[in-house]
C-alpha cells in the first residue's frame, strides 16, 4: 500500500494571461494548470490548496500550494518534471516535503506580504506589471496615511461588499511605501487580507498622494467602516504576492544553487529570515502551527498595537 505524502510547491507566476488562481470551467487559471500537470506526473487525481487565491491579472513572486499524493515519484523527478512542462508564465521554484500531514499552504500561514507597484509616468514596458499614472505622488503624505495600518485593524471598508466576511479583522505586521528605481512600491504584511483589500488600499493611497483626498482618509475609513469613501480600486497588474510566512520558513528565500540540492530540516529546526534553501527541502516534525500562533506573531511584530476599528 502506497504511503500518503504531503508536498508543497513554491511558485512564481505572471498573472497577465490567467483568469486568477482558482480553477473555473472554460477559463485558464493558475490552479488549473498546476493541478493538471501534477496529476499527470503523479498519475492520480489530486487537488492543490494555495496560500493566496489571487484575482485575474495579479502576479506572485513566491506563492505556495500544498497537495497530498500517494505517488512514489521522487521529489527531484517531480520538480524537474514540473519545471519542464509548466507553461512559461509559471515557474516551479522549490518543492517542500512535510512529515506533518496537517500542514496547509493556506491555514498554516502566519502572514502574507503583498507589494503593489506604481509608476508615475505612462510606460508601455512597465504597464504589464505596474499601475502607470501621469504626475508626481507626494511620498510624505502617503507614508503618513499608512501609519494607522498597524496591529489589530478592522478592514471592512477595504473589502468589496459582496465578499465581506462576518469578521473583517486583520493583524498588520507592517505597512509602508518605498521608492525602487522608477516605481513606488506599497508593501502590506498581515496575517490575512480580504478580497480586493490591497488594491482598494493602493487606490486610496494614490488619491492621497495626488492630494485629492485628506491624508487622514485611511484612518477615517478604518474608524467608520464605510466603503463609499474608499478610493478607486487599483488595477490588478501592479499587485504581487511577494512572500508567505510559516512557523518554520517563509517563501521567497534564495536558492542555494540552480541544481537539485536537498536538505533535511530536523524537528524544531527553522530557516533564517533570509537564509538560502535548496530546491528540495524535507521538514521533520510539526510544521503547521495554529491560528492563535499566527495572531500572536502579528501582535509581537506590531508591538501589540490596536488601530482604529469599526465595532459591530
Q: What confidence score (pLDDT) does residue 312 get? A: 31
Give the pTM. 0.93
| Beta bridge pairs of residue 67 | 7
Q: Decide which of 3.40.50.300, 2.40.10.10, 3.40.1160.10, 3.30.70.660 is the CATH code for 116-240.
A: 3.30.70.660
> Is the per-residue pLDDT at 58 higher than 90?
yes
Residue 55 annotated to the active site: yes
One of 3.90.76.10, 3.30.420.40, 3.30.70.580, 3.30.70.100 is the CATH number of 5-107+248-286, namely 3.30.70.580
Whole-number average pLDDT of the chain: 93
* Per annotation, catalytic residue among 55, 89, 138, 261: 55
Start-end of CATH 3.30.70.660 domains in the chain: 116-240
With bands split at pLDDT 50, 70 and 90, how would you rate the model's confidence at 308? very low
Instruction: Say whether pLDDT at 157 is over 70.
Output: yes
Q: How far apart are CA 46 and CA 239, in angstroms?
A: 29
pLDDT at 1 over 80: no
Cα(38)–Cα(53) distance, integer angstroms: 18
**pLDDT higher than threshold 80 for residue 300:** no
Q: Boundaries of CATH 3.30.70.580 in the chain?
A: 5-107+248-286
- Tens digit of each residue's pLDDT (9 = 90 or more) over 235-275: 999 999 999 999 999 999 999 998 999 999 999 999 999 99
Q: What percent of the chain has pLDDT over 70?
A: 95
Q: pLDDT tens, 59-116?
A: 999 999 999 999 999 999 999 999 999 999 999 999 999 999 999 999 999 999 999 9
Question: What's the rounded Cα separation, in Å, for the pair 78 and 96?
Answer: 11
The two most distant CA atoms of the chain are separated, in Å, by 66
Amino acid at each position: 500500500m502506497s504511503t500518503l505524502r504531503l508536498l508543497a510547491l513554491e511558485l512564481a507566476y505572471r498573472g497577465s494571461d490567467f483568469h486568477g488562481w482558482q480553477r473555473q470551467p472554460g477559463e485558464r487559471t493558475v490552479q488549473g494548470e498546476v493541478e493538471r500537470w501534477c496529476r499527470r506526473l503523479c498519475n492520480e487525481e489530486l487537488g492543490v490548496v494555495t496560500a493566496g487565491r489571487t484575482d485575474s491579472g495579479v502576479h506572485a513572486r513566491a506563492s505556495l500550494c500544498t497537495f497530498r499524493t500517494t505517488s512514489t515519484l521522487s521529489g527531484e523527478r517531480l520538480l524537474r518534471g514540473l519545471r519542464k512542462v509548466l507553461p512559461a508564465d509559471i515557474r516551479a521554484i522549490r518543492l517542500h516535503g512535510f512529515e506533518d500531514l496537517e500542514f496547509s499552504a493556506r491555514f498554516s500561514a502566519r502572514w502574507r506580504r503583498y507589494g503593489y507597484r506604481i509608476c508615475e509616468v505612462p510606460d508601455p514596458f512597465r504597464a504589464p506589471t505596474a499601475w502607470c499614472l501621469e504626475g508626481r505622488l507626494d511620498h510624505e503624505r502617503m507614508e503618513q496615511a499608512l501609519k494607522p495600518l498597524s496591529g489589530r485593524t478592522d478592514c471592512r471598508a477595504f473589502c468589496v461588499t459582496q465578499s465581506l466576511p462576518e469578521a473583517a479583522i486583520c493583524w498588520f505586521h507592517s505597512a509602508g511605501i518605498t521608492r525602487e528605481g522608477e516605481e513606488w512600491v506599497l508593501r502590506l504584511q498581515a496575517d490575512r487580507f480580504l478580497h480586493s483589500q490591497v488594491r482598494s488600499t493602493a487606490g486610496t493611497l494614490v488619491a492621497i498622494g495626488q492630494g485629492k483626498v485628506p491624508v487622514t482618509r485611511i484612518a477615517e475609513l478604518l474608524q467608520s467602516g464605510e466603503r463609499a469613501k474608499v478610493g478607486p480600486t487599483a488595477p490588478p497588474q501592479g499587485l504581487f504576492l511577494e512572500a508567505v510566512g510559516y512557523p518554520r520558513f517563509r517563501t521567497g528565500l534564495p536558492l542555494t544553487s540552480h541544481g537539485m540540492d536537498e536538505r533535511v530540516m530536523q524537528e524544531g529546526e527553522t530557516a533564517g529570515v533570509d537564509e538560502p534553501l535548496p530546491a528540495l527541502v524535507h521538514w521533520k516534525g510539526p510544521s503547521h502551527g495554529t491560528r492563535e500562533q499566527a495572531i500572536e506573531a502579528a501582535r509581537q511584530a506590531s508591538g501589540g498595537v490596536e488601530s482604529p476599528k469599526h465595532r459591530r
